[in-house]
Amino acid sequence: MKRRDFIKKASVVAAGTILPMSIIEVAFADNIDGSKSGKNFTFAVISDAHLQQIKGAKFVRNWDMGLKKAIAECNLMNPKPDFVLFGGDLGQLGKAAEIDHGAEILSALRAPVKMMLGEHDYYLDLGEHWMNRFGDPYYSFDHKGVHIVVLNSILVDEKWTHKWKNPMDRMQTMAGLDDPNGSAFMVGEKQRQWLKEDLSTISNETPIIVFSHSPLQKIYKGWNFWTDDAEQIQAILKPFKKVNVIYGHVHQIQYNKIGNIAFNSVMSTAWPWPYPKTYTQGTSYMPKLTIEMNRADPFFERDATGWEMIDVHSGRVDLHFQLPNNENRTVAYNEKTQEPEDIKYQHQKIPSQRHY
């Protein structure tokens, strides 16, 4: 299927409802002899549902509906995705009831599901229930010519992790966006060593997609839009010619390029976060390429949740954002500049709302 036809079909499906999910098409360029280096395929990403238990079987309806609508959209996609990756923060406070509720909702997906851990799934019981449900928090697999890595990027140092007498106090601290008692995320030495070994047999010509919940770059530490060992992870990925990092956690459009690595965020099914520079108490470092979202109506429950088609073409990613009550945007990889950029707005800044 040609990329243009895929986007056209996806847009028809999306016309009735704009939802927070990502559809990814992996398209391989022709080799010199006319052959293909791999098979085209699509997969979907749904992220940051934050399902929250109120009492018993009662949950926050808006968060439930955001996830359910994204799943309905995914099930209607043509071509159907080869698999769906959930990008972390299935629950809000890591309760077994929230994880189980999320697993039940995700079971409606008509495609194999891959899972990634978020901090909201972890810091109540240190991921015990999540891992019993879904398995290892980091892993890799190969799919039709692409090597895909899922990392657990929401770890912190052991001293902070185990200083809490009450696990819910630890969870609620990590659940706060700007709680000064929190701790910075990291991947950690054990996982970095695993990543080195995992990539040791992969050709540097192979396209690499890395999924992490937190951005593998340093944006704003006060909100954990940050990974402490980001530079060390980037160094491990440096030998590979085409690396794409796709992350959740930030609930907003972000994109950047550092060396050979293109970075792109995906949206949340629950709510948007403001951009860090709205928080004047601390200095933030937005990815230099990012043109901020225009917040059309921060009091509209679906505003700034959107959804994205992600077209991975010749080993690089283009993101097509469909935004309710807002102008749709495309962040595409420009082969001439060798950077991701907003097709319409990169060279004409758009005003963004400064409050939420």
In angstroms, how far is the first alpha carbon of the chain from the final one?
41
Q: How far apart are CA 60 and CA 77, in angstroms?
A: 27
Q: Which amino acid is at 7?
A: I
Q: What is the DSSP letter of 44?
A: E
What is the pLDDT at residue 11?
39
pLDDT above 80 for 14: no
Burial label, 349 (beta-carbon count in 10 A; 0-12, 13-18, 19+): exposed
What is the pLDDT at residue 326?
65
The mean-pLDDT minimum among 120-129, 170-179, 222-231, 264-273 falls in: 264-273
Q: How far apart are CA 325 and CA 329, in angstroms?
A: 12
Mean pLDDT of 190-202: 98
Q: How far apart are CA 45 and CA 324, in angstroms?
A: 18
What is the pLDDT at residue 115?
98
Q: How far apart are CA 343 and CA 347, in angstroms?
A: 9
What is the pLDDT at residue 140?
98
Burial label, 42 (beta-carbon count in 10 A; 0-12, 13-18, 19+): buried
Q: What architecture does CATH give domain 3-342?
A: 4-Layer Sandwich (3.60)
Smallest Cα–Cα separation from 81: which of 53, 51, 112? 112
pLDDT above 50 for 222: yes
Both tokens of 159, joined, read 């001293």
Neighbouring CB atoms inside 10 A of 244's CB total 25
What is the pLDDT at residue 19?
45
pTM score of the predicted model: 0.84
In the beta sheet, which residues pair with residue 23? Answer: 44, 309
What is the pLDDT at residue 139?
98
Per-chain mean pLDDT for the chain: 82
What is the pLDDT at residue 3?
38
What is the pLDDT at residue 133?
97
Rounded to 5 degrees, φ, ψ at 118 are: -120, 165
Give the model's confidence band at 352: pLDDT under 50 very low, under 70 low, under 90 confident, else very high.
very low
Evaluated on CA atoms 328, 346, 285, 191, the torsion sign reads positive
What is the pLDDT at residue 225?
93
Q: What is the DSSP letter of 83?
A: -
Give the model's confidence band at 6: pLDDT under 50 very low, under 70 low, under 90 confident, else very high.
very low
Mean pLDDT of 129-147: 95
List pLDDT tens digits, range 34-73. 445 566 777 888 999 999 999 999 999 989 998 998 898 8
Mean pLDDT of 3-18: 38
Beta-strand relationship, 84-86 and 58-59: unpaired
How many residues would you count in the chain? 356
